[in-house]
């Protein structure tokens, strides 16, 4: 590419018309005039000089001064004999005499923290073996398919050893404690298959300096964290997931960036990438008005789809992108209309989703959005933000509040279970019991449940059955499936030793069966976002705290769900059924083995109830949920 072509290409990034900026910016191994080396390109319009310094020139800022492209404010340089694995930074000289050392915003790899230099890497040459998955996913319709997500923090899912050292306030993990991406693939994927999860959502893997941020304070957006290995190692993990029919979702943080001095903050001495402070998070909000910022982020999303073969993004902190004053006291910032919506942030999200779905129609784009903002999952062309899923935070909070109550008082909060169906179809919802609910003194899921040790297990299983039968896609954080009592700690592994104890082993077995049933039964997922997919049988039985409803799928098969949220056992409890016939329990949460050892059918009777002409009578134990299915007639 000659200089005129390069300038034209760069100008397209600066006006936001092209979204593969990572193909030019950063450090690329190329051949130039018969010499092999690395071409560097960085945007720093306020600098008076920029040099590339690194292991290949003894960090000498006189050795490799970059050349300014005045039309765009970019700096470029080709350095021969630089190779993969060399480390580098940009040294920026500012008009006021200051000097800054910055990591490359487009670096494809970084040093292991606490070191902060960028590393020359080639992310484009991995030999993939997931062609069949890529072909099949082209016809995937996530809204009509089962989506059962296992959310995982790779560093603490399992560890070689438990070891950490205390900082002033937080703990840093001994790097030798981590399994690498390839080792995790060999452990994690068999577990996902055993447990019948069909998606994994990985907490942020973009390079971050501080373990205690869990990856949510990013310094290297294109740089996969070196804590667990190389970019190719991560691709191996994703490749193995796809070969085993497991989709991969990345947790992505486009709303704000880390304030560490080697990162994007005051990159060329000015607030080049963002200006508004996030006081709650100690970060800076991206300035979405700038084409270069939008291009940086949208190109980043496309980079992961194209070169890491991901299947979706969970977009963190969407609410903070919708409002100028998120987390701030009062309303110090106003938009051009005098209100506090971030008009540029809104347009960025619409642009992001439009471009993603144009190129990757199968994608899951899930918004972590906690406000009452309308039409988050509606198409952009009808005024929506364009996501296809939204985390249902209200459902999650109401459910957890309800199970924390003494069963004697649950009848007074009956609407905490029924209310979610009033707005269930206003958006395409995902039901999350995520990492956010098991940290910072909130207690683990089982500890949130009211009652004695044994009662907590019964309540947790009942709550999980409720989650899996409520309309919406599913997400559970690692450790939920073994009923871990302590909160999640990013510096320690899940307490796998708990599986030596019968109650925890039984809970894992229940989750395994529930997951398998969910993937198998069309009625539990194919009409999540259609009113015909759900019907209350009895939403008003507050005195007994019992709920009953029907789920129906595309194949017209129906499941009956019965939830008893008190410890009172009923020998003869009657519910209406949608059609005459024989019914059986397919899973029951009260005790192992959770499904009947032998099939026993209950014949319906022509006794009208719950608006149905027929009903059945059955025994329902206390603090128990069950799913019933009608016997299919032979044709």
Q: What is the DSSP letter of 631?
A: P
Question: Rounded to whole angstroms, how far apart are CA atoms 276 and 274?
Answer: 6
Residue with tokens 């990162």: 263
Which contacts qualify for 15-23: CB closer than 8 Å, 24 or more apart?
15/291, 16/291, 16/292, 16/294, 16/295, 18/295, 19/295, 19/298, 19/299, 19/302, 19/355, 20/299, 20/302, 21/106, 21/295, 21/296, 21/299, 22/106, 22/222, 22/299, 22/300, 22/303
- Given 260, 316, 437, 506, the catalytic residue: 316
Whether 82 and 38 have beta carbons less than 8 Å apart is answered as: yes
| 3-class SS letters over 9-63 | HHHHHHCCCCCCHHHCCEEEEEEECCEEEEEEEEECCCCCEEEEEECCCCCCCCC
Residue with tokens 């100008």: 11
- Given 61, 151, 211, 368, the catalytic residue: 368
Whether 570 and 590 have beta carbons less than 8 Å apart is answered as: no
Q: What is the DSSP letter of 495?
A: -
Whether 198 and 146 have beta carbons less than 8 Å apart is answered as: yes
Phi and psi at residue 390, in whole multiples of 5°? -135, 135
399 sits in which H/E element = helix 393-403
Whether 3 and 64 have beta carbons less than 8 Å apart is answered as: no
Which contacts qualify for 30-33: CB closer than 8 Å, 24 or more apart?
30/78, 32/78, 32/80
Question: Rounded to whole angstroms, how far apart are CA atoms 92 and 89?
Answer: 10
Residues shown for the chain: 635
Sign (positive or negative) of CA dihedral 335, 341, 344, 350: negative
Choose among 409, 405, 460: nearest CA to 438. 460
Sign (positive or negative) of CA dihedral 267, 272, 275, 281: negative
Active site residue 368: yes
Question: Rounded to whole angstroms, how far apart are CA atoms 529 and 471?
Answer: 7
Residues contacting residue 398 through CB under 8 Å, at least 6 positions apart = 416, 417, 419, 420
> E strands along 86-233, which residues?
87-93, 99-102, 118-119, 148-152, 164-166, 171-173, 199-202, 206-207, 220-224
Whether 157 and 494 have beta carbons less than 8 Å apart is answered as: yes
Q: How is residue 132 written in tokens?
A: 């069949």
| 421 burial type by CB count under 10 A (0-12 exposed, 13-18 middle, 19+ buried) | middle
Question: Rounded to whole angstroms, how far apart are CA atoms 175 and 625?
Answer: 44
Question: Rounded to whole angstroms, how far apart are CA atoms 147 and 518?
Answer: 9
What positions carry a catalytic annotation?
A: 316, 368
């Amino acid at each position: 590419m000659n200089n005129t072509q390069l300038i034209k290409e760069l100008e397209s990034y600066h006006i936001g018309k092209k979204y593969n900026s990572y193909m030019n910016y950063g450090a690329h191994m190329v051949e130039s005039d018969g010499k092999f080396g690395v071409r560097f390109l960085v945007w720093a319009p306020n600098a008076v000089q920029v040099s590339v310094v690194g292991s290949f020139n003894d960090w000498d800022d006189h050795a490799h001064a970059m050349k300014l492209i005045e039309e765009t404010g970019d700096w470029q340089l080709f350095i021969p004999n630089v190779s993969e694995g060399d480390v580098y930074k940009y040294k920026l000289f500012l008009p006021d005499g200051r000097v800054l050392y910055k990591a490359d915003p487009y670096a494809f790899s970084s040093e292991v923290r606490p070191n902060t230099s960028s590393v020359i890497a080639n992310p484009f040459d991995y030999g993939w073996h997931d062609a069949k998955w890529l072909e099949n996913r082209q016809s995937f319709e996530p809204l009509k398919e089962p989506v059962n997500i296992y959310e995982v923090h790779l560093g603490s899912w399992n560890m070689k050893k438990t070891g950490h050292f205390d900082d002033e306030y937080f703990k840093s993990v001994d790097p030798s404690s981590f399994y690498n991406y390839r080792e995790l693939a060999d452990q994690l994927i068999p577990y996902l298959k055993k447990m019948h999860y069909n998606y994994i959502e990985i907490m942020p893997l973009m390079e971050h300096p501080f373990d205690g941020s869990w990856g949510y304070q990013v310094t290297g957006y294109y740089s996969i964290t070196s804590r667990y290995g190389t970019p190719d190692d991560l691709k191996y993990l994703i490749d193995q997931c796809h070969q085993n029919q497991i989709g991969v979702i990345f947790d992505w943080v486009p709303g704000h960036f880390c304030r560490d001095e080697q990162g994007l903050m005051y990159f060329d001495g000015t607030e080049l990438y963002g200006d508004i402070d996030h006081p709650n998070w100690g970060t800076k909000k991206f300035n979405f008005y700038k084409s270069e910022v939008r291009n940086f982020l949208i190109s980043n999303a496309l980079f992961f789809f194209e070169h890491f073969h991901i299947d979706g993004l969970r977009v963190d902190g969407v609410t903070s992108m919708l409002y100028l004053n998120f987390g701030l006291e009062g309303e110090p910032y106003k938009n051009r209309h005098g209100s506090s919506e971030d008009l540029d942030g809104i347009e960025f999200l619409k642009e992001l989703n439009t471009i993603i779905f144009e190129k990757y129609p199968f994608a899951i784009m899930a918004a972590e959005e906690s406000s009452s903002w309308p039409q988050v999952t509606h198409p952009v062309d009808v005024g929506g933000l364009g996501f296809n899923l939204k985390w249902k935070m209200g459902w999650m909070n109401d459910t957890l509040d309800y199970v924390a109550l003494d069963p004697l008082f649950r009848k007074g909060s009956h609407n905490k279970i029924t209310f979610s169906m009033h707005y269930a179809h206003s958006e395409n919802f995902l039901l999350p019991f995520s990492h956010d609910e098991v940290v910072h003194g909130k207690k683990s899921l089982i500890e949130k449940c009211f009652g004695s040790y044994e009662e907590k297990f019964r309540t947790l299983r009942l709550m999980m059955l409720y989650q899996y039968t409520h309309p919406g896609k599913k997400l559970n954080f690692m450790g939920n499936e073994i009923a871990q009592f302590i909160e999640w700690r990013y510096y320690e592994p899940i307490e796998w030793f708990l599986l030596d104890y019968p109650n925890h082993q039984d809970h894992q077995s229940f989750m395994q069966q529930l997951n398998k049933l969910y993937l198998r039964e069309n009625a539990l997922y194919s009409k999540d976002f259609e009113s015909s997919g759900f019907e209350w049988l009895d939403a008003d039985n507050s005195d007994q705290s019992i709920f009953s409803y029907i789920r129906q799928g595309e194949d017209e098969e129906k499941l009956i769900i019965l939830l008893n949220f008190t410890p009172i056992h009923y020998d003869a409890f009657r519910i209406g059924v949608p059609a005459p016939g024989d019914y059986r329990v397919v899973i029951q949460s009260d005790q192992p083995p959770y499904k009947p050892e032998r099939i026993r059918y209950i014949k319906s009777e022509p006794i009208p109830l719950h608006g149905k002409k027929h009903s059945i009578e059955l025994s329902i134990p206390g603090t128990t949920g069950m799913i019933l299915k009608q016997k299919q007639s032979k044709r």
